[in-house]
Amino acid sequence: MSRIADWLTQQNRWLQALFAVLAGLFTTLALPPVYAVPLLLIAWPVMLVLVDAAQKWSRVLRLGWLFGAGHMLAGLYWVGNALEIAGAPPQLAILLPLSMAFYPALALLGYWVLAGWLRSRGVVESRDIASVALFSLLWLAAEMLRGYLFTGFPWNLMGYVWAFSDYMPQAVSLVGTYGLSLLTVFATALAVCLFSPRGWFHRLMPLVLGALILVSVAGYGFAHLATAGETAYHDIRVRIVQANINQRDKWRADLRAQNFEQHLVLSEKNEGEGFDLLVWPETAVPYYLDEEPAKTVMMGRIVRPGGYVISGVPRREILPDRSRRFFNSMIVVDDFGRVIETFDKFHLVPFGEYVPLKGVLEWLGVEKLVEGAGDFSPGRGAATLPLAGMPSMSPLICYEVIFPGAVVVPEKRPGFLLNVTNDAWYGETSGPYQHLMITRFRAIEEGLPMLRAAGTGISAIIDAQGRVISQLGLGKSGTVDGLLPVATASPTFYGRYGNSVIWVLVLLVVVTGFLAGKLTSGRAE
């Protein structure tokens, strides 16, 4: 196997660049919706072999960026659909993915620097368990930086490769998605040890360790679901409306009344005994519904007495100086048509809902990409909204759901999570599928059921173990009907401690790498 590694490092720089891009593409193919997870056993070894053989930091940075470009362009290509709808220049479609490519590049550069320093002191060797532990920790650091810097964009974390299963993701209730990413990268990157120039022991023992990690994750998942049992439900009937309105038609003034009526018709169809909770998606109709009592009365009369309608809406505030502030919001309407709760989105999309460094960037010609009267203002933060006669909820608008450990107020644990979104921007791409899988992981992390209303799909009812109870597919008009699942009796381990649990896992990986190094050092071949 070491001959394959030698062949790889002897290729010219153009072929090595191609291998780096393909390795990045392979890591994305392991993610939703393809789930080609075995490709990780090729991607990580290729990159680590190329990086270990590099002589200059500039070479490592270039290879790392090419790897990141393959990873991010394939994973975020759907951004181009949103930009096309917004009328932005097409070349901007690659700017976000290419800028995100620097995170993997920095992880690989950090690995090259630290591994070289540790090798010079005899602490690690090329293609051994300790060096893989170092790489996996630096990958984790890069993912977490991506989740926090510049408002954060933790999309397509490596832990999501297990979203095809109900069992493997259960580990996030213990260590969170960042923790599952660390375990996933560590276990699969150990395949590089097959290319070790040393003997069979140094090649096979890491594979056994990787298999043990993944078997342990799966075993925890089986035990967790066995303990949880079948999904339990409240006696609360839920209807989620998915009108499937084209993004180009959503804000047309001549279609406002028609779009509103379409939501009403879907809400009332086959009503039967009625519903306790009716959910419309993000900015379902382009009205300031909190200023339209006649319309909210029409909404409120659909639900049972004591029931609620929840809808995403644009909202505005007129200040004393007659200036205005605009919000991307969610309102709760009672059965009398009164707006009783309001929540404003607090995690705004850069360039979509506001322009960072607005004065400088607008001077350069960079403007906000979505329709609206001006920049949106951020809300106050995560909230728990009480609903008399029902469990309380934590509202999440659009991509607020992608941030692990930031979806609830810990001291005010809600009874369920509610995500309203408008994935019409992404069209028939992988974006909506990835977004749905992300919401499943938030449910598992917190031990809370999730109701998801998406304007064009995929809307779903998800239980506290992340199992999709019912859903309506992408590009379909209709409703998702069912009962509200019950939350876990107490917060999960991750729900209690959040991302601080990562440090425990980091320590375990460091100790594993150190002990493995001690065990294998000096062992006869």
* Cβ partners under 8 Å of residue 264, min gap 6: 298, 299, 302
Could you tell me the pTM of the whole model? 0.93
> Same domain, yes or no, for 411 and 512?
no
Active site residue 398: yes
User: Does the residue 493 lie in any domain?
Assistant: no
Same domain, 238 and 129: no
What does the H/E/C string look like for 453-520?
EECCCCEEEECCCCCEEEEECCCCCEEEEEEEECCCCCCCHHHHHHHHHHHHHHHHHHHHHHHHHHHH
CA distances, 324 to each of 319, 347, 356, 373 (Å): 6, 20, 19, 10
518 catalytic per annotation:
no
193 assigned to active site: no
Per-residue confidence at 517, pLDDT binned at 50, 70, 90? low
478-487 pLDDT, tens per residue? 999 999 999 9
186 and 270 in one domain? no
Q: Per the domain annotation, does 434 fall within a domain?
A: no
What is the rounded average pLDDT of the residues 240-246?
94
Residues facing residue 468 across a β-bridge: 462
pLDDT at 516: 75
Residue 356's pLDDT is: 60
175 closest CA partner among 110, 220, 237: 220
Specify whether 99 is located in the same domain as 113: yes
Distance CA 391, CA 413 (A): 10
What is the side-by-side strand order in the sheet with 277-279?
Answer: 339-344, 324-334, 308-318, 277-279, 233-242, 478-485
pLDDT tier, 373 (very low <50, low <70, confident <90, very high otherwise): very low
In whole angstroms, what is the distance from residue 163 CA to residue 161 CA?
Answer: 6
- On whether residue 442 sits in a domain, the answer given is no
422 in a domain, yes or no? yes
Residues 188 and 210: their CA atoms lie apart, in Å, by 6
Catalytic residue among 345, 353, 368, 445: 345
Residue 440 has phi, psi (to 5 degrees) of -60, -40
Give me the domain span that covers residue 322: 233-428+447-484
Strand partners, 354: 350
Residues 307 and 324 in one domain: yes
Do residues 202 and 175 both lie within one domain?
yes
440 within some domain: no
Q: Is residue 384 part of a domain?
A: yes
CATH of the domain at 247: 3.60.110.10
> Which among 250, 368, 398, 445 is annotated as catalytic?
398
| 243 has pLDDT over 70 | yes
Number of domains in the chain: 2
Residue of 125, 143, 250, 282 marked active site: 282
Q: What is the DSSP letter of 415?
A: S
Backbone angles phi, psi at 238, to 5 degrees: -120, 140
What's the CA dihedral at 486, 490, 494, 495 to 10 degrees?
A: 70
DSSP secondary structure string for all residues of 365-379: T----S-SSSPBPP-
Residue 518 has what pLDDT?
A: 67
Model confidence at 400, pLDDT cuts 50, 70, 90, reads very high
